[in-house]
A and B are shown apart, each in its own frame.
Chain A
Amino acid sequence: MDILITGILLGGTYTLIAMGLNLQYGVARIMNLANGEMLVAGAFAAFWTYTAGQVSPILSILFVAPLAFLANWIIYRVILMPLIKRAKNQGQLEVDSILATFGMGFAFVGIMIATFGADYFSYDYLGDGVQIIGNTFALNRIVAFFAAVIICAILYAWLYWSRPGTAVRAVAVNPQAAGLVGINVRRVSALAFALGGSLTAVGGSLISTFLTLDASVGVLFTMKALIIVIMGGVGDVRGVIVAALILGLAETAVATLIDPGLTLAAAYFIFILVLLFRPQGLFGKPTS
Chain B
Amino acid sequence: MKRRTALKLAAASLVAGSLAIGTAQAGDTVKIGAVAPKTGPLAGGSTVTHWPNIHLWVHEVNARGGLKLKDGRKKIELIEYDDQTNPGVHIKAAQRLATQDKVDFIVAPYGTGFNLASAPIYAKHGYPQIAVSAISDKIPELTKRYPGIFFTLGSTTSFASAVSDILSKMRADGKMGGRIAMVNVADAFGIELAETARPIFKKAGFEIVYDKSYPLGTQDLSPIMKGAKASKPDAFVAWSYPPDTFGLTKQAITQNLDVKAFYTAVATCFPAYGKVFGKSIEGNLGAGGVDPTTPAMKAYRKAHMEVTGKPADGWASANTYVSLQVLEQAIEGVGSVDRKAVTQYIKDNTFKTIMGDINFVDQVSHRFWTVGQWQGGEFYGVASKGMPNAKPVILKKGWK
Interface residues of A (CB under 8 A from B): 2-3, 6, 9-10, 13, 109-110, 113, 117-124, 127-129, 135-138, 141, 210-217, 220, 224, 251-252, 255-256, 259-261, 263-264
Asked if B246 and A256 make an inter-chain contact with CB atoms under 8 angstroms apart, the answer reads no
CA distance A217 to B218 in the complex (A): 12
For residue B84, which residue of chain A has the nearest CB? A216
Asked if B223 and A215 make an inter-chain contact with CB atoms under 8 angstroms apart, the answer reads no
- B contact residues around A128 at 8 Å (CB): 253-254
Q: Does B39 contact A (CB under 8 A)?
A: yes
Asked if B212 and A214 make an inter-chain contact with CB atoms under 8 angstroms apart, the answer reads no
Instruction: Among A120, A123, A127, point to the contact of B254 (Cβ < 8 A).
Output: A127
- B contact residues around A2 at 8 Å (CB): 226
Q: Does B139 contact A (CB under 8 A)?
A: no
For residue B214, which residue of chain A has the nearest CB? A260
Asked if B218 and A6 make an inter-chain contact with CB atoms under 8 angstroms apart, the answer reads no
Pairs of residues from A and B, 7 with the lowest C-beta to C-beta distance, nearest first = A255-B223, A212-B246, A214-B44, A118-B43, A260-B214, A118-B47, A120-B44
Can you spell out 8 A-B residue pairs with CB atoms less than 8 angstroms apart?
A6-B223, A129-B255, A136-B254, A211-B219, A212-B247, A220-B217, A255-B223, A256-B227
Asked if B39 and A216 make an inter-chain contact with CB atoms under 8 angstroms apart, the answer reads yes
- A contact residues around B183 at 8 Å (CB): 260
CA distance A261 to B276 in the complex (A): 27
- A contact residues around B39 at 8 Å (CB): 109-110, 113, 118, 215-216
Asked if B276 and A122 make an inter-chain contact with CB atoms under 8 angstroms apart, the answer reads yes
* Chain A CB within 10 A, most for which of B39, B186, B219: B219
Instruction: Among A9, A251, A260, point to the contact of B212 (Cβ < 8 A).
Output: A260
Asked if A118 and B220 make an inter-chain contact with CB atoms under 8 angstroms apart, the answer reads no
Query: How far does the Cβ of A287 sit from chain B's closest Cβ, in whole Å?
Result: 31
- B contact residues around A127 at 8 Å (CB): 250, 253-254
Query: How far does the Cβ of B214 sit from chain A's closest Cβ, in whole Å?
Result: 4
CA distance A127 to B213 in the complex (A): 24
* Chain B CB within 10 A, most for which of A109, A121, A260: A260
Query: How far does the Cβ of B228 sit from chain A's closest Cβ, in whole Å?
Result: 10
* Chain A CB within 10 A, most for which of B37, B40, B222: B222
- A contact residues around B224 at 8 Å (CB): 255, 260
Query: How far does the Cβ of B71 sit from chain A's closest Cβ, in whole Å?
Result: 38
Asked if B212 and A129 make an inter-chain contact with CB atoms under 8 angstroms apart, the answer reads no
Q: Does B251 contact A (CB under 8 A)?
A: yes
Residue tally, chain B, CB below 8 Å to A = 43
CA distance A236 to B40 in the complex (A): 32
Contact flag A113-B38 (CB < 8 Å), given A124-B250, A259-B212, A260-B213: yes
Q: Does B243 contact A (CB under 8 A)?
A: yes
Q: Does B151 contact A (CB under 8 A)?
A: no
* Chain B CB within 10 A, most for which of A10, A129, A210, A251: A210
CA distance A13 to B220 in the complex (A): 10
Asked if A137 and B276 make an inter-chain contact with CB atoms under 8 angstroms apart, the answer reads no
Query: How far does the Cβ of B287 sit from chain A's closest Cβ, in whole Å?
Result: 16
CA distance A109 to B38 in the complex (A): 10
Q: Does B369 contact A (CB under 8 A)?
A: no
Asked if A10 and B219 make an inter-chain contact with CB atoms under 8 angstroms apart, the answer reads yes
- A contact residues around B219 at 8 Å (CB): 10, 13, 211, 224
Query: How far does the Cβ of B39 sit from chain A's closest Cβ, in whole Å?
Result: 5
Asked if B47 and A117 make an inter-chain contact with CB atoms under 8 angstroms apart, the answer reads yes
Asked if B214 and A263 make an inter-chain contact with CB atoms under 8 angstroms apart, the answer reads yes
- A contact residues around B213 at 8 Å (CB): 259-261
Asked if A252 and B215 make an inter-chain contact with CB atoms under 8 angstroms apart, the answer reads no
> Given A260-B214, A263-B215, list of 20 further CB < 8 A pairs?
A6-B222, A9-B220, A118-B39, A118-B44, A119-B44, A122-B276, A127-B250, A128-B254, A214-B243, A217-B41, A220-B217, A224-B219, A251-B220, A252-B220, A256-B227, A259-B212, A260-B212, A260-B213, A260-B218, A261-B212
Query: How far does the Cβ of A50 sit from chain B's closest Cβ, in whole Å?
Result: 11
For residue B223, which residue of chain A has the nearest CB? A255
Q: Does B267 contact A (CB under 8 A)?
A: yes
Q: Does B10 contact A (CB under 8 A)?
A: no
Instruction: Among B215, B226, B270, point to the contact of A261 (Cβ < 8 A).
Output: B215
Query: How far does the Cβ of B23 sit from chain A's closest Cβ, in whole Å?
Result: 33
Chain B 212-241 interface 0/1 with A at a Cβ cutoff of 8 Å (1 = within): 111101111011101100000000000000
Query: How far does the Cβ of A177 sit from chain B's closest Cβ, in whole Å?
Result: 39
CA distance A121 to B43 in the complex (A): 12
CA distance A263 to B185 in the complex (A): 13
For residue B37, which residue of chain A has the nearest CB? A118
Q: Does B256 contact A (CB under 8 A)?
A: yes
Asked if B43 and A216 make an inter-chain contact with CB atoms under 8 angstroms apart, the answer reads yes
B residues 20-54 touching A (CB-CB < 8 Å): 37-41, 43-44, 46-48
Query: How far does the Cβ of A92 sit from chain B's closest Cβ, in whole Å?
Result: 29
Q: Does B272 contact A (CB under 8 A)?
A: yes
CA distance A129 to B276 in the complex (A): 17
Q: Does B206 contact A (CB under 8 A)?
A: no
Query: How far does the Cβ of A187 sit from chain B's closest Cβ, in whole Å?
Result: 35
Chain B 272-312 interface 0/1 with A at a Cβ cutoff of 8 Å (1 = within): 10001110000000000000000000000000000000100
Query: How far does the Cβ of B255 sit from chain A's closest Cβ, in whole Å?
Result: 5
CA distance A6 to B43 in the complex (A): 31
Asked if B215 and A119 make an inter-chain contact with CB atoms under 8 angstroms apart, the answer reads no
Q: Does B111 contact A (CB under 8 A)?
A: no
Asked if A122 and B223 make an inter-chain contact with CB atoms under 8 angstroms apart, the answer reads no
Asked if A138 and B254 make an inter-chain contact with CB atoms under 8 angstroms apart, the answer reads yes
- B contact residues around A9 at 8 Å (CB): 220
- A contact residues around B247 at 8 Å (CB): 211-212
For residue A135, which residue of chain B has the nearest CB? B226
CA distance A76 to B330 in the complex (A): 56
Asked if B243 and A211 make an inter-chain contact with CB atoms under 8 angstroms apart, the answer reads yes
Asked if A113 and B43 make an inter-chain contact with CB atoms under 8 angstroms apart, the answer reads yes
Query: How far does the Cβ of B288 sit from chain A's closest Cβ, in whole Å?
Result: 16
Query: How far does the Cβ of B397 sit from chain A's closest Cβ, in whole Å?
Result: 18
- B contact residues around A210 at 8 Å (CB): 250
Contact flag A212-B214 (CB < 8 Å), given A113-B43, A251-B220, A255-B224: no
CA distance A212 to B244 in the complex (A): 8
Q: Does B66 contact A (CB under 8 A)?
A: no
Query: How far does the Cβ of B241 sit from chain A's closest Cβ, in whole Å?
Result: 10
- A contact residues around B37 at 8 Å (CB): 118
CA distance A135 to B224 in the complex (A): 14
CA distance A213 to B219 in the complex (A): 11
